[in-house]
Chain A
Amino acid sequence: GDSVTQMEGPVTLSEEAFLTINCTYTATGYPSLFWYVQYPGEGLQLLLKATKADDKGSNKGFEATYRKETTSFHLEKGSVQVSDSAVYFCALSDRQGGSEKLVFGKGTKLTVNP
């Protein structure tokens, strides 16, 4: 079945550092791709999405580009803040048997120090 692999964490950065969290996927067909963010003690929130190849999703300074040739959707931010500390999940949409569900990676914990 479809799957998502993201870089192992935890990732620790200083404020204003550049962030990359790698995500690659395996899928039949052409899934949509997502990044979700989870702050401590909360559910997940959609951060950004891309629905087709070469699309770039962006939100709150974060960006990710749907790369079909490398089956990747890496998350980047040019200058992280302490408030970006959270767990980040890469996900894809999986359509099978007429039903649709999201498949998540294992999550990458980011800690940003002042």
Chain B
Amino acid sequence: DGGITQSPKYLFRKEGQNVTLSCEQNLNHDAMYWYRQDPGQGLRLIYYSQIVNDFQKGDIAEGYSVSREKKESFPLTVTSAQKNPTAFYLCATTGQLEKLFFGSGTQLSVL
């Protein structure tokens, strides 16, 4: 089946640790996005990539990093500089104009 796969579903981070969230797609889409969802805050854009080897900061990029070495993959690293990482993280892609396809999300919590 074509789709977007995020892993893991649940992730725990120790203080001072970097963790990486995976996002893989087989939809052959060019653009990929990472959003953070907090209760009552809606979705906020962290990073996005319109094409391989290129990405741009979104509204809340501080404390996060990404790479886009392959079209299918857009991993997000939550670094130790992100002091409040507990949230639900959503990856999305778009092929045709403006319609986003979302993964099922990763819930990140701090130990």
Which A positions have Cβ atoms within 8 angstroms of B? 32, 34, 36, 41-46, 49, 51, 89, 93, 99-102, 104-107
Known: A49-B99, A106-B42. A44 touches B58 (CB 8 A): no
Chain B residue contacts of A101, Cβ below 8 A: 33, 45, 48, 58
A9 CB to nearest B CB, Å: 9
Chain A to chain B: the 7 pairs with minimum beta-carbon distance, closest first: A43-B102, A106-B42, A104-B43, A44-B102, A104-B42, A93-B98, A107-B42
Contact B42 A46 (CB under 8 A): no
State the CA gap A5–B55 with chains docked (Å): 27
- Chain B positions within 8 Å of A51 at CB level: 98
Chain B residues whose CB sits within 8 angstroms of the CB of A105 once the complex forms = 42
Q: How far is the CB of B22 from chain A (nearest CB, A)?
A: 14
B104 touches A102 (CB 8 A): no
Sort chain B's interface into a size bin: 20 to 34
- Could you mark each residue 1-16 of chain B with 1 if its beta carbon is under 8 Å from any beta carbon of chain A, else 0? 0001010000000000
Which of the residues B40, B48, B92 comes within 8 Å of A43, measured between beta carbons? B92
In contact, B48 and A99 (Cβ under 8 angstroms) = yes
How many A-B contacts at CB < 8 Å in the complex?
52
B106 CB to nearest A CB, Å: 10
Bound Cα distance A44, B90 (Å): 9
Q: B103 interface residue, CB < 8 Å from A? A: yes
Interface hub of A43, A51, A93, A99 (most chain B Cβ within 10 A): A43
Is B41 located at the chain interface by the 8 A CB criterion? yes
Q: Is the CB of A43 within 8 A of B103?
A: yes
B56 CB–A CB distance under 8 Å: yes
The listed residue (B50, B90, B92) touching A99 by CB distance below 8 A is: B50
Please name the residue on chain A nearest to B44 by beta carbon: A104
The CA-CA distance from A104 to B92 in the complex, in Å, is: 13
Q: In the assembled complex, how far is the CB of residue B97 from the closest CB belonging to chain A, in whole angstroms?
A: 8
Q: How far is the CB of B100 from chain A (nearest CB, A)?
A: 6
> Which A residues lie within 8 Å of B75 (CB)?
none
Bound complex: CA A44 to CA B99 (Å): 11
A105 to B41, CA, bound (A): 8
